[in-house]
């Protein structure tokens, strides 16, 4: 089904909190490309409304009375699949359930917007509308549709966090570092990628667009499934063989270097390419401190975060891989990198890990 840019994205908001329903509805209605066609205080009410209203996207809370969001999601995906954005609090238990929802077929996770500073509210608007647009595109990923455009705050580049290097000063080494960026659909793509990595895999740094506190649970989940060690990155953590570090939600992750040692620095800063953490920031730092010793991987996701940084990686001598369109949930970020000439090869998700390992092995010889 082709996407008509003149048609608004129809959204149903399901949450037991009247305040959250009103806040989300206000954010969505403020976007000229969206309309809220229904709200529901629990899944049973939502199910009844779905008999007469068919939304393009559903925002769904996890913890609700009468029927929990996970049960509703499983039933929905089995009987009438509709793109779902999980809108969850950042409580520890909630984060684990939200990650489980992604395994059940949800497209995105966003943190519930709440009253706070003007900056927080503005960033919440960006995250909510972007997540809904990404979810809407996910079911149409083979058609290359364009998201509805809306007036937004200026999109900052990686300059806002790390100035571009004037020259190259990378020390010669045979150690390869892998840097990965992903967004919509990336949680399952990263699981596939990391489960294919051996115990002695090259060090890996990852940015997955995900809210604060959810990344810690995500890292623990992957650590339980993979042979490599996976953890949420902290400033000073070394990038060593057999370890993958995941950028914490709501903070940027930079690769740094001291002699032959690679490590990460976690820092605050504005949204870059509409995200924090930003793939562009990680890739730029890898271009500066690893250069030709880096392999860049860009995976499924909406938007263009990582495309500029991947081009900087290529210009610094790195080798870059993109996930192909057929296996991407949303072929946005990889496509932008390809269009900029930043990608050396595009591969199906299941082929990326082995290709990267082979390339890293060649460099060690």
204/356 Cα distance (integer angstroms): 11
Helices and strands (H, E) in the chain, number of each type: 11, 14
Alpha carbon 342 to its chain centroid, in Å, reads 20
- Residue-wise pLDDT tens digits, 121-176: 677 788 899 999 999 988 433 323 333 344 445 555 666 556 666 555 445 555 89
Handedness of CA 3, 7, 12, 18 (dihedral sign): positive
Stretches in the chain below the pLDDT threshold 50: 1-3, 139-152, 169-170
Global pTM value: 0.84
User: What are the residue numbers of the active site?
Assistant: 183, 209, 305
State the burial class of residue 358 (Cβ atoms within 10 Å of its Cβ: 0-12, 13-18, 19+).
Answer: exposed
How many Å apart are CA 17 and CA 19, to the nearest integer?
5
Question: Count of CB atoms within 10 A of residue 163's CB?
Answer: 10
**What is the structure's pLDDT at 161?**
58
Name the one residue in this structure whose structure tokens are 């009375």.
Answer: 65
Full set of structural domains in the chain with CATH: 9-138 (3.40.50.2300), 170-364 (3.40.50.180)
């Amino acid at each position: 089904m082709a996407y008509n840019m003149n048609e608004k994205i129809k959204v149903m908001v399901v949450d037991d909190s009247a305040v959250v329903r009103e806040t989300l509805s206000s954010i969505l209605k403020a976007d000229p490309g969206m309309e809220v066609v229904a709200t529901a205080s629990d899944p049973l009410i939502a199910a009844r409304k779905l008999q007469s209203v068919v939304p393009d996207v559903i925002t769904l809370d996890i913890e609700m009375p009468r029927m929990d969001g996970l049960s509703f999601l499983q039933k929905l995906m089995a009987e009438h699949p509709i793109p779902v954005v999980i809108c969850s609090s950042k409580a520890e238990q909630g984060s684990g359930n939200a990650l489980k929802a992604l395994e059940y077929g949800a497209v995105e996770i966003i943190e519930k917007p709440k009253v706070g500073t003007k900056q927080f509210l503005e960033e919440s608007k960006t995250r909510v509308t972007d997540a809904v647009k990404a979810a809407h595109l996910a079911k149409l990923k083979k058609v290359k549709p364009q998201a509805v455009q809306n007036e937004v705050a200026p999109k900052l580049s990686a300059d806002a966090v790390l100035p571009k290097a004037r020259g190259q000063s990378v020390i010669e080494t045979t150690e390869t570092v892998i840097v990965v960026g992903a967004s919509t659909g990336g949680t399952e793509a990263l699981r596939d990628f990391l489960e294919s990595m051996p115990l002695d895999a090259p060090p890996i740094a990852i940015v997955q667009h995900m809210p604060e506190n959810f990344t810690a649970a995500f890292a623990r989940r992957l650590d339980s499934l993979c042979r490599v060690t996976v953890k949420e990155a902290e400033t000073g953590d070394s990038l060593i063989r057999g370890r993958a570090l995941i950028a914490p939600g709501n903070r940027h992750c930079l690769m740094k270097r001291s002699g032959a040692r690679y490590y990460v620095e976690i820092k605050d800063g504005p949204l870059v390419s509409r995200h924090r953490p930003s793939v562009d920031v990680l890739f730029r730092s890898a271009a500066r401190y690893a250069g030709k010793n880096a392999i860049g991987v860009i995976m499924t996701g909406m938007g263009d975060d990582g495309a500029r940084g991947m081009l900087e990686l290529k210009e610094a001598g790195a080798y870059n891989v993109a996930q192909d369109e057929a296996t991407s949930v949303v072929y946005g970020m990889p496509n932008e990198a390809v269009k900029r000439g930043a990608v050396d090869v595009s591969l199906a998700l299941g082929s990326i890990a082995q290709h990267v390992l082979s390339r890293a092995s060649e460099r060690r010889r």
